[in-house]
A and B are shown apart, each in its own frame.
Chain A
Amino acid sequence: MISSLNAIVPMLCVTAAGLAAMVAESFRDPGERMPIAGLGIVGLVGAAVATLLLWNHNVSSFGVVSADNFGLFVTWILIIVGALSIAFSGPTVERERLPAGEYYALMLFAIAGMMLMATASDLLIIFLALEVLSIAVYVLTGIRRDSAQASEAAFKYFLLGAFSSTFFLYGIAFTYGLTGSTHLDRVGSLIAAQAMAPTPMQLLAVGFLLVGFAFKVSAVPFHMWTPDAYEGAPPAVTGFMSTGVKAAAFAAFARVFLTAFEPLRGDWGVILSVVAGATMIVGTVVGVAQSNVKRMLAYSSIAHGGYLLVALIAANDVGKGAVLFYLLTYAVTNLGAFGVIAVLDNGDRANDRVSDYAGLWNEHPGLAALMTIFLLSLGGFPPMAGFIAKWYVFSAAVKAGDNALAIIGVLTSVVSVFFYLRIVVMMYMTSSSQPLRFPAVPKIASVALAVSAILIFYLGILPTRVLDWAAESISTIF
């Protein structure tokens, strides 16, 4: 009986930590400082240990959650995302006087939902996980209740998110109607056994699910919510959702489309190719025009979603491995960048316009250097991790013969370098007349930033081991 729970132990750890955070908050005297964030870290460490023990065992719980290596690799990414996000949240929570218990509890519930999404092998469970993480993230987006911008962003995110969830549910319903099952393996084998030419019903089912996923990974044309939500949320939350939600959604996306709907790849592959091309182009081209760093990184994150889609479409061994490696790299890099933004947030001044970065080098040379590392890695410069990740993705595309996507990919990454460099130019090559505007950097956050930077160089210079893990992980399910 107990052993049937094995696969969900990481989620249980995180959920328990979230509940503990809520309880702790309710027992906290007003004004008392409590290390609630520490509870989250404890939960994540528990999850990490559990994940490590589950590695290679390929266990499953209730027949709907399967802790295969693919899911566990994503779980690892989510644990890193969670730990870094909690580390970057400290200054924001304190400065904005956010309710710490609720904030961390929501974050932990969202992580639990993400983990479930990454390991679920049944469409209904995927939907359940999607809702768990989405609702938590909607609330986190609007957690600064006194800010009109944050409320607007949360409301927009919520409305569009709810809308896309219904698409997703429709997709599940059609799939169930076609095959009589929501379990991915059965769906896959039944679709494979059905007629050679896809029926309109099958296409509808795939289309609805595609829309649902495209919304979650903010693929064009379902990306409209992204810039607003990213701009409105506190920077630490933005970093969290831009990486965590994307990792979980892509894990489920890959699992559903590369196992259950693999037989229909000829049909969804074409649509997704167009979506991927448009996502890369819109993300970078519109990103060039942004003057707010968070909005700029929002568009950059859309573009990175496009690169991930390219790897997904390639659907060969390299592409599947590339999805995992890219998610890891992107998570570390993007969180680092948002971490810097979070650290620079000054309470009364968000300091998130590009021009606010003028002369950062003179005031915080270390922070400027770290931000440069993150941005160059996002832009794909060696020897940073971003280069290896992009190389991996483009290898997959070239191997699959998607030359057009590969060419769009490399060219848009050149364009994206332009806007990443705008921030670098501001930090290093423009001097500011204003006096000291940036707060001091808290210790935990600076350690987390340094860890991210070291990880980026590690993944960029010695990627072999992680690449091998990624390759091993995909071999378990595909």
Chain B
Amino acid sequence: MTFPILTSLIVLPIVGAVLLFAIKEDDAHAATIRNVALIVSALVFAETLLLWSRFNAATADFQFVERHAWIPAFGISYFVGVDGISLFLLVLTGLLTPLALLSSWESVHKRLKVFCIFVLLLESAMIGVFVSLDLFLFYVFWDAMLVPMYFLIGIWGYDRRVYAAVKFILYTMAGSVLMLLAILGLAYMHNTANGAYSFDLLRMYALPIPERVQFWFFLAFALAFAIKVPLFPFHTWLPDAHVEAPTAGSVILAGVLLKMGTYGLVRFAFPLFPAAAATFAPWLALLAVVGIIYGALVAMVQPDMKKLVAYSSVSHLGFVVLGIAAMNTQGMQGAVYQMLNHGVSTGGLFLIVGMLSDRRHTRLIAEYGGLKRVVPHLVSAFLLVTLSSIGLPGLNGFVGEFLILLGAFRADPRMAAFAATGVILSATYMLWMFQRVNYGEVTNEANASMPDLSRREWTILVPVVAVAVLMGVLPNIFLRPIEPSVDRMLALTQRSASFRAQAARSPERLALPNRGVAARSPERLALPNRGVAARSPERLALPNRGVAARSPERLALPNRGVAARSPERLALPNRGVAARSPERLALPNRGVAARSPERLALPNRGVAARSPERLALPNRGVAARSPERLALPVRGPAPHSPGSARLSAERRVP
């Protein structure tokens, strides 16, 4: 029995919350409360790092899997696991929670104990969302997470906190309840197909879902996630929630909660409903691009720093969705990477805005100016985080945005072109804000005596900046574990959607495609052109009758025009190439031959070097898993194995 590391990650914050509950709340114990909360969250972070160190980056499978029956009558289990996509989101959650707690040390005095309890409960629910591999469990964490966040905004927020908190919870719930229905629908489809209920995500991946149903289920899932992301036009809750939330709330909200929307798209909506995803991906991409530009433009005119950063999140998350909707490796890898980047840099921005607002109790850009002279250390950290948010090469933001644009370009160059303007716009609004806040003369007297970073604030900012640089300089240590998992999700997303759906609806439809027609009117199959034959028999006999009547020579000599213009084109089709470089026609692979002659001679050289037995026994893996598949490749279109359905269908359908 191995140590249940994921469960311990979920439970540890709850244990911390219970510990805090037992501490008496008064001024004398304030330091104890802070330390307990901080230590617990730091332990969680350490544990996520431990998880990373133990993580096997070579495989796409879920690791550290735990599975226990929970509600067996409905096939619901406590089923958790981590792959490359969720691994770093866990690490990000682990990193941001202690930072968020630290950032609130000076600003939260009212009801400190309850505040820390809610932050820890929130952390537990967030971890739960990222590790759940059971749809029911996922939904439980997804909804449970709303409650602590609601209280964090509503109790410790700014002036319009109640409005913002209620809006936050209602928007998110309205989206997610329909997802609950879709989850239930999936479970019942699993029951119909396999005779047992299940909410197991991995089984759901293999479940054949009719295309029409996919359409609705995808919409239900995508709505829930689009609201959470938030994708334009579902973003209106975000600026309110961000602006009114306390610093810790904003950091967690921007850093982790928004990622749940994009994570949900990658993990659930796209791979579960590939056919619908293929249909809707261009529309999602369009909304994402609108969001990128709209968010950037609105951010530009904000007088309030927090609101500016909030709208910049709309823009940046648009990039993430664009990458996902591109449905190729670069795009999706970039999207996953950009989720982490956004967590670090926007989290960092909110932390810095929080520090300024702790000092001056205002977040209006106009209230500041010339801070560089007063608080140089804070400003240099601010600059680094700003540049990382813009996407300067060498810092984290660049890698993600570059990959996403690359992927988007492959999917649809127009989208990439419009999205790229977002990069410029983000430089505009961020740098303009930075300039107004930090450069020039100190115009406001109150700013002149601002203290620079305290030791606590150093502790907060150093990790943020260090991670931003690390992710910019060495992206591969993050991308390598992500890659296999992304490829796996993509493979699921790109399954031949139509065949899968057809096979699900009725296997015999594949075998006898025109069954229905045959039943209704057998003569239609036998004499397909019956109607035409009835109306004008000569049309069937002489299909080109009209052409023949108009210009008989067109039928006799189809290439007559070309022949007239340049007779030699018909005779020597490759004449141009021959003229420019005669050897290209003679030796088509000349270039490869020149660069590396052995590639032509031994095309599978690389595979041979890595694993010689793969060349010798290509189907080795299949043979190991199920020998009968090799022996009987076409065993019939069973509903559970769309792959074999496809194979056999391809042979039967001419």
B140 surroundings in chain A (CB, below 8 A): 382-383, 387
Task: Determine whether A411 belongs to the interface, using a CB cutoff of 8 Å to chain B.
Answer: yes
Residue A398, interface by CB 8 Å: yes
CA–CA, A429 and B154, complex, Å: 6
Cα(A463)–Cα(B76), bound, Å: 11
Contact A410 B181 (CB under 8 A): yes
Bitwise interface map of B from 42 to 73 toward A, beta carbon under 8 Å scored 1, else 0: 00000000000000000000000000001111
Q: How far is the CA of A395 from the CA of B147 in the complex (A)?
A: 24
Which residues of A383-418 have CB atoms within 8 Å of chain B's CB atoms? 383, 387, 391, 394-395, 398-399, 403, 406-407, 410-411, 413-414, 417-418
Closest to A413 in B: B177
B567 interface residue per 8 A CB criterion: no
The answer to whether B180 and A410 have CB atoms under 8 Å apart is yes
Residues of A within 8 A of B141 (CB): 382
Evaluate contact between A418 and B180: CB separation under 8 angstroms.
no
The answer to whether residues A467 and B181 also contact, given A381-B143, A429-B154 and a CB cut-off of 8 A, is no
Residues of A within 8 A of B162 (CB): 425, 429-430
- Nearest-neighbour CB distance to chain B for A430, whole angstroms, equals 8
> CA of A376 to CA of B139 in the docked complex: distance in angstroms?
16
CA distance A411 to B177 in the complex (A): 7
Is B305 an interface residue, CB under 8 A from the partner? no
Determine which residue in B136, B141, B150 has the highest number of CB atoms from chain A within 10 A of its CB, and name it. Answer: B150
Q: Tell me if A274 counts as interface (CB < 8 A to partner B).
A: no
Q: Is the CB of A395 within 8 A of B144?
A: no
C-alpha gap A471/B74 in the complex (Å): 12
How many residues in B have their beta carbons less than 8 Å from beta carbons of A? 33
Q: Is the CB of A429 within 8 A of B161?
A: yes
Q: Contact partner of B73 among A403, A413, A428, A471, CB < 8 A?
A: A471
Segment of B183-191, B494-502, B511-519 in the binding face = B183-191
Within 8 Å of chain B (Cβ to Cβ): is A271?
Answer: no
- A417–B170 CB distance below 8 A: yes
Residue A464 lies at the interface, judged by CB distance under 8 Å to chain B: yes
B174 at the interface (CB under 8 A from A): yes
Interface string of B163-185 (1 = CB under 8 A from A): 00110011001100110110011
- With both chains docked as a complex, state the minimum distance between the C-beta of A40 and any C-beta of chain B, in angstroms: 34
**A468: CB under 8 A from chain B?**
yes
Interface check A421, CB cutoff 8 A:
yes
> How many angstroms between the C-alpha atoms of A382 and B128 in the bound complex?
13
Known: A376-B147, A406-B181, A421-B166. A467 touches B154 (CB 8 A): no
Instruction: Please classify the interface of chain B as helix (H, G, I), strand (E, B), loop, or mixed, using the class held by over half of its residues.
Output: helix
Q: Which residues of A contact B177 (CB under 8 A)?
A: 410-411, 413-414
**A382 closest partner in B (C-beta):** B140
The 0/1 profile, CB within 8 Å of A marked 1, for residues 107-145 of chain B is 000000000000000000000000000001001110110
Q: Is the CB of A414 within 8 A of B170?
A: yes
Query: Residue on B with the closest CB to A430?
Result: B162
Q: In the complex the two chains form, is B184's CB within 8 Å of A395's CB?
A: yes
Whether A398 lies near B188 (C-beta < 8 A) is yes
Inter-chain CA distance A464–B68, complex, in Å, is: 13
| Bound-state Cα–Cα, A118 to B70, Å | 31
Interface string of A420-436 (1 = CB under 8 A from B): 01000100111000000
Q: For residue B139, give the distance in angstroms from its CB to the closest CB of chain A.
A: 8
Write out the residue numbers on chain B whose beta carbons fall within 8 Å of the beta carbon of A467: 71, 73
Chain A residues, Cβ within 8 Å of B151: 428
Q: How many Å lie between the Cα of A411 and that of B179 in the bound state?
A: 11
* Residues of chain B lying within 8 A (CB to CB) of residue A414: 170, 173-174, 177
Q: Which of A383, A394, A425, A468 is in CB contact (< 8 Å) with B144?
A: A383
Q: For residue B182, which residue of chain A has the nearest CB?
A: A398
| B146 within 8 Å of A (CB atoms) | yes
B155 at the interface (CB under 8 A from A): yes
| Across-interface contacts of B188 in A (CB, < 8 A) | 395, 398-399
Residues of B within 8 A of A (CB): 70-74, 136, 139-141, 143-144, 146-147, 150-151, 154-155, 161-162, 165-166, 169-170, 173-174, 177-178, 180-181, 184-185, 187-188
6 shortest interchain CB distances as A-B pairs: A410-B177, A382-B140, A398-B184, A429-B154, A382-B144, A414-B173
What are 5 A-to-B residue pairs whose CB atoms are below 8 Å? A382-B139, A382-B144, A398-B188, A421-B169, A468-B73
Task: Please give 7 more A-B residue pairs, beta carbons under 8 A apart, in addition to A382-B144, A425-B165.
Answer: A395-B184, A398-B188, A403-B181, A410-B178, A411-B174, A421-B169, A463-B71
